[in-house]
Structure 1
Amino acid sequence: MAPYRRGSMSRTASHVPTPRRDRVGLGRGHVWSEAVLAVLLVAGCATSSSPGRRSAQGATPSSRRKPNVLFVLTDDMRLDDLRFMPKVRELIRDQGVSFDRYFDNVTLCCPARTSILRGQYSHNTGVLTNGGGNGGFETAHADMVEQSTIATAMHDAGYATGLFGKYLNGYPHTAGPAYVPPGWDQWSSSSKGNAYGEYDYTLNENGKQVDYGHGPDDYGTDVYTRQTRDFITRAASTSTPFFAYLAVYAPHSPSTPAPQDTRAFPGLKAPRDPAYDEADVSDKPRYIQALPPLTPQRQRLIDRRYRKRAQSLQAVDRSVASLVDALDAKRQLDDTYVIFTSDNGFHLGQHRMPSGKQTAYETDIHLPLLIRGPGVAKASHVTALTGNVDLAPTIAAIGGGRLTDNPDGRSLVPLLTTKNPRVPAHWRQVFLLEHWTETSAQQDRSGAGQLEPDDLDQADTTSSSDAQPTTPTSAAAPRRSLAGRSRIPEFQGLRLPTYTYVEYSTGERELYDLTRDPDELNNIAGAASPARLDALHQRLDAMRSCAGATCPARESAPLVLR
Structure 2
Amino acid sequence: MTTRPNILFIMSDDHAARAISCYGSGLNSTPNIDRIARDGMRLDRCYVTNSICTPSRASILTGTYNHVNRVTTLDTHIDNRLPHVAKHLRQAGYQTGMFGKWHLGEGRAHQPTGFDEWSVFPGQGEYFDPVMIGPDGAETVPGYASDVLTDKCLDFLERRDPERPFFMMCHHKAPHRPFEPHPRHRHLHADGDLPVPETFDDDYANRAAAAAAAKMRIRADMTYKDLGLVQPEAGAEAGELLIAGRKDRKVPDIAPGQEIRLIDAATGKNFVFTDPRQLALFKYQRYMMRYLQTVAAIDENVGRLLDYLDAEGLTDDTIVIYTSDQGFFLGEHGWFDKRFMYEESLQMPFLIRYPLGIAPGAVSRQIAMNVDFAPTFLDYAGVRTPSYMQGTSLRPVLEQRADADWQDVAYHRYWMHKDDFHNAFAHYGVRDARYKLIYWYNDPLGETGANPGDEPPEWELFDCEADPFELHNRAGDPAFRDVFLTMLEKLDAKMAEIGDSPEHDNAVVRAQLGRG
TM range (shorter): 0.7 to 0.9
Q: 1:200 to 1:70 in 2, by over 3 A?
A: same
Any idea what SS the aligned residue of 2:412 has? strand
Any idea what SS the aligned residue of 1:114 has? helix
Any idea what SS the aligned residue of 2:332 has? coil
What do residues 20-53 of structure 1 show as CA deviations (whole Å, max 9, x unaligned)? xxxxxxxxxxxxxxxxxxxxxxxxxxxxxxxxxx
In the other structure, the counterpart of 2:390 is: 408
In the other structure, the counterpart of 2:300 is: 318
Corresponding position: 1:159 with 2:94? yes
Instruction: Indicate the larger mover: 82-91 or 496-505.
Output: 82-91
Q: 1:424 to 1:312 in 2, by over 3 A?
A: same
The counterpart of 1:433, out of the listed 391, 412, 436, is 412
List aligned pairs for 1:521-536, cutoff 5 A.
521-527=471-477, 528-536=479-487
In the other structure, the counterpart of 2:42 is: 98
Corresponding position: 1:181 with 2:112? yes
In the other structure, the counterpart of 1:150 is: 85
The counterpart of 1:503, out of the listed 435, 439, 453, is 439
Any idea what SS the aligned residue of 1:480 has? coil
The answer on whether the counterparts of 1:160 and 1:243 sit within 8 Å (CA) in structure 2 is yes
The answer on whether the counterparts of 2:327 and 2:349 sit within 8 Å (CA) in structure 1 is no
- 1:438 Cα deviation (Å)? 5.9
In the other structure, the counterpart of 2:285 is: 303
- 1:290 Cα deviation (Å)? 4.6
Instruction: Indicate the larger mover: 259-268 or 424-433.
Output: 259-268
List aligned pairs for 1:126-525, cutoff 5 A.
126-131=70-75, 135=76, 137=77, 140-141=78-79, 144=80, 146-169=81-104, 171-172=105-106, 174-175=107-108, 180-191=111-122, 195=125, 197-213=126-142, 218-235=143-160, 237-268=161-192, 271-279=195-203, 281-290=204-213, 294=219, 295-296=276-277, 297-353=279-335, 355-373=336-354, 374-404=356-386, 406-418=388-400, 424-437=403-416, 479-481=420-422, 487-505=423-441, 506-525=456-475
Q: 1:155 to 1:112 in 2, by over 3 A?
A: same
What do residues 96-116 of structure 1 show as CA deviations (whole Å, max 9, x unaligned)? 001111111111000111111
In the other structure, the counterpart of 1:115 is: 59
Any idea what SS the aligned residue of 1:389 has? helix
What do residues 159-213 of structure 1 show as CA deviations (whole Å, max 9, x unaligned)? 00001100125x31x438xx75221001010237x72x31243212332322124
In the other structure, the counterpart of 1:14 is: none
The answer on whether the counterparts of 2:218 and 2:331 sit within 8 Å (CA) in structure 1 is no
The counterpart of 1:76, out of the listed 11, 14, 19, is 14
Any idea what SS the aligned residue of 2:119 has? strand
- 1:313 Cα deviation (Å)? 1.0
Separation in 1, partners of 2:3, 2:35:
24
The answer on whether the counterparts of 2:5 and 2:165 sit within 8 Å (CA) in structure 1 is yes
What do residues 88-141 of structure 1 show as CA deviations (whole Å, max 9, x unaligned)? 34420000001111111111000111111011122222111111xxx2x2xx12
- 1:341 Cα deviation (Å)? 0.5
Q: 1:191 to 1:348 in 2, by over 3 A?
A: closer
Separation in 1, partners of 2:358, 2:388:
26
Q: Percent identity?
A: 30
The answer on whether the counterparts of 2:41 and 2:352 sit within 8 Å (CA) in structure 1 is yes
Q: 1:70 to 1:494 in 2, by over 3 A?
A: same
Separation in 2, partners of 1:523, 1:254:
33
Separation in 2, partners of 1:529, 1:101:
23
Q: 1:335 to 1:313 in 2, by over 3 A?
A: same
Q: 1:201 to 1:65 in 2, by over 3 A?
A: same
The answer on whether the counterparts of 1:163 and 1:246 sit within 8 Å (CA) in structure 2 is yes
Q: 1:123 to 1:546 in 2, by over 3 A?
A: farther
- 1:409 Cα deviation (Å)? 1.1
List aligned pairs for 1:59-70, cutoff 5 A.
62=1, 65-70=3-8
Q: 1:547 to 1:200 in 2, by over 3 A?
A: same
Q: RMSD across aligned C-alpha pairs, in angstroms?
A: 2.5
For residue 69 of structure 2, what is the amino acid of its counterpart? T
Separation in 2, partners of 1:272, 1:261:
22
The answer on whether the counterparts of 2:16 and 2:326 sit within 8 Å (CA) in structure 1 is yes
Q: 1:349 to 1:404 in 2, by over 3 A?
A: same
Separation in 2, partners of 1:89, 1:186:
25
User: TM-score if structure 2 supplies the norm length?
Assistant: 0.76
Any idea what SS the aligned residue of 1:519 has? coil
Separation in 2, partners of 1:352, 1:501:
22
- 1:299 Cα deviation (Å)? 3.8
Separation in 2, partners of 1:252, 1:164:
17
The answer on whether the counterparts of 1:106 and 1:433 sit within 8 Å (CA) in structure 2 is yes
For residue 491 of structure 2, what is the amino acid of its counterpart? L
Any idea what SS the aligned residue of 1:175 has? coil
Separation in 2, partners of 1:350, 1:321:
29
Any idea what SS the aligned residue of 2:288 has? helix
In the other structure, the counterpart of 2:495 is: 544
Any idea what SS the aligned residue of 1:333 has? coil
- 1:415 Cα deviation (Å)? 2.1
Separation in 2, partners of 1:390, 1:149:
13
What do residues 307-332 of structure 1 show as CA deviations (whole Å, max 9, x unaligned)? 11110111111111111111112211
Q: 1:438 to 1:200 in 2, by over 3 A?
A: farther
Separation in 2, partners of 1:407, 1:346:
27
In the other structure, the counterpart of 1:38 is: none
The answer on whether the counterparts of 2:36 and 2:351 sit within 8 Å (CA) in structure 1 is yes
- 1:405 Cα deviation (Å)? 5.1
